[in-house]
Amino acid sequence: MTLLDDLSAFMGEAFAAAGLDAAYGRVVRADRPDLAQFQCNGALAAAKAAKQNPRALAGMVSEKLSGSEIFAEVTIAGPGFINLKLQDSWLADQTKRHGDVWLSEAPEKIVIDYGGPNVAKPLHVGHLRAAIIGESLKRIARSAGHEVIGDAHLGDWGLQMGQLISELELREPDLPYFDEAFGGPYPQDAPITLGDLEAMYPAASAACKADKARADLARAATKALQDGRPGYRALWRHFVDLSVAAMKKDYGDLGVDFDLWNGEADADALIPEIDKDLRARGLLEESDGADIIRVARDDDKKEMPPIIFRNSQGAVGYHATDIATIVDRVRNIDPARMLYVVDARQRLHFEQVFRAADAAGYFAEDKLEHLWFGTMNGKDGKPFKTREGGTLKLRDFIDMVTDKAQSRLVENGMAEGFGDVETAEIARKVGVAALKFADLSNPRTSDYIFDIERFTSFEGKTGPYLLYARARIRSVLAKAAAAGAGEPGEILIGAPEERDLALAVAAFADAHRDAYQKRLPHILCDHAFSLAQAFSKFYAACRIVDEGDDNVRASRLRLVEIVAFQLDKIFDMLGIEALERM
């Protein structure tokens, strides 16, 4: 149970004792922390339902709380808000419990599909956010006790593969991959480098846009690949392997780590069987030579076009591979839930896929969640681009924030006296922390502006500020150990800064639970920031290592230890690497 759950339960009892529904007892953090710590607004709703005076009802409820060992003060404000202050002894007891993580009561097996990079195509800003948010949601769920399997779900089966294959065929027609009479085996090593591949994609895609005959070649190659032409499959394997090796390095530097590197192609083998099944269920319908699935419902408020399962040329596309992937995951993983962290532009796509999967009985729609997110924009308010107007590669992003972090460290006189290798590593970690924290602290569904100056600042609600705060808290503990300050002990609340810190600490489980249940990592970012701020005030006002009273010193050490624990846990849940020194 979280702090707010506990308080709500006590408050609920008071409502029940006054003859009202216990559900009105919901307690929240006070809007005005200067007036109260917590508040309950339930008397207003209860009064409305019972056609009674809310202040009188609130008074009745608060009488039931008199003599409570939990509340030090219960007052009625305005039209009937119940304001609450906790007994220090009870708060101290609560605080202790928050040196551990919140665990879900019903752990589930969950697949989380995030990242979604496309083979040979550069990653765009949507992929960057998917990776950062998905990694964090995966870790938040794991910390709550869920079994979570992260899948990169590579885009490895689309038209870009046919564009690349046909491009290479035009450039080097003599390669054995293009000789239909070739009996194999095909060479072990790729015929081109990753650099070639990356240069070939924009050329091929531009050529296909400009020339219809060239585009037809690409489409035919895509179809031949999907139909299993051996030379094309062998070449495809090379392209995927080259791309994935590079992606693993980039994602690794970003601290993003997938359990599965499955792709759209992995579900392809299931297509014939699913095709047959959908037909038998009467879900596939012919329309203009294509096979479609109707997913519209009578009560739809917006247009809901049918899915094109197979186009008129016989090729299956993105919808079909997503449906097949659901079937594949049920067979191989059997999860209770599937989460998709993919940008907002694909909302319609997922709504269609989820409806079709549900209609076919493959997976219940309410266990399929599209956790869409807003766009990272440039200062011009448009999706972030390079100065030249292109999309920035993940590698360039990492380099850019690393360089900026490096100069910030110098400006702040930090990371001095370390070797070059260590300094570079610190700069990368600070840069990545800045980028990730900025992304995650922004509510998932909102757009935000990429502002490298602000993100890398050591002041304000930033990754570098929190890294620094955490390192400082750890150094207090190290100093205490070195000075023989003794063991942490029972928590005693005396100074106001101590009380405020305890209140911040006791909010951890609520923050973790809300971040998980609402799929919103920024809630944990907010908690980390208020914790660091409360610590900073506590540190300025209260002696720790050199506190003379043994009990007070032991209590403060315990508080510091819990703060350090929570920050470590939150860094882990955000996917941000902490730094011991900087």
Nearer residue to ligand ARG within complex by CB, 266 or 498? 266
Q: Please tell me whether residue 322 binds ligand ARG under the rule CB under 6 A.
A: yes
Q: Give the shortest CB-113-to-ligand ARG separation in angstroms.
A: 5
Closest CA to 79 of 61, 54, 47, 49: 54
Is 263 an interacting residue with respect to ligand ARG (CB under 6 A)?
Answer: no
Nearest to 522 by CA among 383, 296, 371: 371
What Cα–Cα distance (Å) separates residue 444 from each residue in 272, 374, 485, 523? 37, 7, 43, 10
Least distance to ligand ARG from the beta carbon of 342, Å? 4
Contact status, residue 295 vs residue 307, Cβ threshold 8 Å: yes
Q: Which of 11, 225, 308, 342 binds ligand ARG (CB under 6 A)?
A: 342
Q: Is 77 helix (H, G, I), strand (E, B) or coil?
A: strand
Residue 493 neighbours by CB distance under 10 Å: 21
- Least gap, CB of 214 to ligand ARG (angstroms): 23
Residues 221-240 touching ligand ARG, rule: CB under 6 A, are: none
CB atoms within 10 A of CB 577: 16
CB of 340 to ligand ARG, least distance (A): 6
Q: Which of 440, 498, 432 is nearest to 467 (CA)?
A: 432
The residue of the chain with the least Cβ separation from ligand ARG equals 116
Element (H, E) at 534: helix 522-541
Q: Is 319 in the site for ligand ARG (CB under 6 A)?
A: no
Q: Name the residue nearer to ligand ARG (CB basis): 58 or 342.
A: 342
Between CA 556 and CA 501 the distance in angstroms is: 10
CB of 156 to ligand ARG, least distance (A): 9
**Identity of the amino acid at 514:** D
- Considering only residues 105 through 144, tell me which ones interact with ligand ARG, judged by CB under 6 A: 113, 116, 118
Smallest gap from residue 154 Cβ to ligand ARG (A)? 7
- Check residue 155 for interaction with ligand ARG (CB under 6 A): yes
Kindly state the smallest distance separating residue 63's Cβ from ligand ARG, in Å: 56
Q: CB-based burial of residue 66 (10 Å sphere; 0-12 exposed, 13-18 middle, 19+ buried)?
A: exposed
By CB under 6 A, tell whether 71 contacts ligand ARG. Answer: no
Distance of closest approach, residue 234 Cβ to ligand ARG, in angstroms:
23
Measured from the CB atom, the residue of 131 and 505 that comes closer to ligand ARG is 131
- Give the number of other Cβ atoms within 10 Å of residue 543's Cβ: 12
Token pair 């009745």 in the structure block, residue: 60
Cβ of residue 189: shortest distance to ligand ARG, in angstroms?
Answer: 27
Are the C-beta atoms of residues 474 and 567 closer than 8 Å to each other? no
495-507: burial string, b at 16+ Cβ within 10 Å, e else: eebbbbbbbbbbb
In sequence order, the 6+-apart residues with CB closer than 8 A to the CB of 18 are 57, 60, 61, 63, 64
By C-alpha distance, which of 556, 423, 444 is closest to 501?
Answer: 556
Among residues 71, 201, 236, 340, the one that binds ligand ARG under rule CB under 6 A:
340
Please name which of 563, 560, 532 lies closest in space to residue 544, comparing C-alpha atoms: 560
Shortest Cβ distance from residue 394 to ligand ARG (Å)? 13
337 touches ligand ARG (CB under 6 A): no
Q: Is the CB of 322 or the CB of 500 nearer to ligand ARG?
A: 322
Closest to 526 (Cα-Cα) out of 435, 449, 437:
437
* CA-to-CA dists, residue 31 to 38, 155, 287, 301, angstroms: 8, 46, 57, 36
Q: Which is nearer to ligand ARG, 250 or 526 (CB)?
A: 250
Phi/psi at 151 (nearest 5 deg)?
A: -120, 130
Query: Which member of 129, 138, 142, 153 binds ligand ARG (CB under 6 A)?
Result: 153
Residue number with CB closer to ligand ARG (225 or 576)? 225
Backbone angles phi, psi at 458, to 5 degrees: -90, 5
> Using N-to-C axis directions, what is the helix angle for 420-441 and 125-143, rounded to 10°?
90
Task: Using CB under 6 A, count the residues that bind ligand ARG.
Answer: 8
Please say which residue, 96 or 385, places its beta carbon nearer to ligand ARG: 385
- What minimum distance in Å lies between the beta carbon of 343 and ligand ARG? 8
Query: CB of 338: closest distance to ligand ARG in angstroms?
Result: 9
Query: Quick one: how far is CA 2 from the chain centroid?
Result: 22
Q: Name the residue nearer to ligand ARG (CB basis): 165 or 341.
A: 341
Smaller CB distance to ligand ARG: residue 118 or 226? 118
Q: What are the residues binding ligand ARG (CB under 6 A)?
A: 113, 116, 118, 153, 155, 322, 340, 342
